[in-house]
């Protein structure tokens, strides 16, 4: 009886194994029939701004159903092209990741149209301890003294203020390196930023009137803040001085002038005649 049960289990296991093998063979055959195209991919890591050489590329079979737009089939099509983003090994080379044909290699190849590259001096503190790497975004803050005459109410000649003057600025390079390595911070003495012409003017003025600091921000955070800045008094919580009020003119009391009173004059004497009649004197006035 036990042998019959064992034999039944063995047959069941055999049937399940055969079914799995048939299914696997069919799946492999189906995958082999999937249409694929030759696609040029990076054979090694290619740094941003690098000119593409033949040994940097290879071709692989890529399923047609998931083929991205802008791919290349022949590595010869990419001869002397320049990448404007870093490519990892095995990553497909796409047209949107390349600088226009004829562009020379270097930092100028990765600057966006209408933008400018400007370098500022930094240290380990200003440079966010070396974590402001190429491809990151930073805000630029300036600490300066307000000029005389801007705080007339307080009467101070100068007032220290810190303010964010630029937001969401792309870091193109640190020192002379445009490559990006997220695992290692790089403490350098210069950082190159991508700016519009107007922002380039702001940065040039800011670095001459005060001390610059870089503030690292999340790459997906594009929300502008537009702060009003903070002064030393606001930072320390000191109450601002009361506004000096101009002295008001003291009104001159007006003395009420007495109205002229009517002057009563004594009655003027009239012409009188004394009349004597029968020994009696009578004074008649008229």
* Residue carrying the six token digits 């445009």: 178
* Residue carrying the six token digits 């109410």: 153
- Which residues lie across from 211 on neighbouring strands? 143
Domain parsing of the chain, residue ranges: 36-108, 124-236
Taking only the tens place, the pLDDT of each residue in 80-108 is: 888 877 888 889 999 888 888 777 777 77
Locate the DSSP E strands across the chain. Answer: 36-42, 57-63, 116-121, 137-146, 159-174, 190-195, 210-217, 230-231, 272-277, 280-285
Task: Among 165-179, 182-196, 197-211, 260-274, name the most confident range.
Answer: 197-211
Q: Please check whether residue 57 is in contact with residue 93, taking contact to mean a CB–CB distance below 8 angstroms.
A: yes
Whether pLDDT at 244 is above 50: no
Whether pLDDT at 136 is above 60: yes
Confidence of residue 41 (pLDDT cuts 50, 70, 90): very high
* Predicted model pTM: 0.56
* CATH domain 36-108 topology: Type Iii Antifreeze Protein Isoform Hplc 12 (3.90.1210)
Q: What spatial distance separates the first Cα and last Cα of the chain, rounded to whole Å? A: 180
Q: Which of 187, 183, 169 is nearest to 126 (CA)?
A: 187
């Amino acid at each position: 009886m036990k042998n019959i049960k064992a034999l039944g289990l063995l047959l069941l296991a055999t049937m399940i194994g055969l079914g799995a093998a048939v299914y696997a063979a069919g799946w492999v055959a189906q995958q082999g029939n999937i249409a694929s195209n030759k696609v040029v991919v990076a054979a090694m890591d290619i740094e941003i701004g690098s000119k593409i050489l033949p040994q940097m590329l290879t071709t692989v079979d890529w399923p047609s159903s998931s083929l991205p737009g802008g791919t290349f089939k022949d590595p010869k099509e990419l001869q002397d092209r320049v990448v404007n983003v870093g490519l990892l090994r095995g990553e497909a080379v796409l047209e949107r990741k390349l600088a226009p044909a004829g562009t020379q290699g270097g930092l100028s190849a990765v600057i966006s149209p209408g933008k400018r590259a400007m370098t500022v001096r930094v240290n380990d503190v200003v440079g966010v301890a070396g974590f402001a790497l190429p491809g990151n975004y930073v805000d630029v803050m300036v600490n300066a003294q307000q000029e005389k005459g801007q705080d007339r109410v307080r009467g101070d000649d100068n007032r220290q203020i810190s303010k964010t003057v630029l937001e969401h600025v792309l870091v193109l390079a640190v020192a002379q390196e445009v490559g990006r390595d997220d695992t290692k911070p790089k403490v350098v003495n210069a950082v190159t930023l991508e700016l519009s012409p107007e922002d380039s003017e702001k940065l040039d003025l800011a670095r001459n009137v005060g001390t610059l600091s870089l503030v690292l921000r999340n790459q997906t955070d594009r929300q502008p803040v537009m702060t009003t800045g903070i002064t030393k008094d606001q930072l320390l919580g000191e109450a601002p001085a009361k506004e000096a009020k101009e002295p008001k003119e003291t009104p001159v009391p007006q003395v009420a002038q007495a109205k002229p009173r009517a002057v009563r004059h004594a009655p003027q004497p009239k012409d009188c005649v004394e009349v004597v009649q029968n020994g009696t004197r009578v004074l008649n006035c008229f």
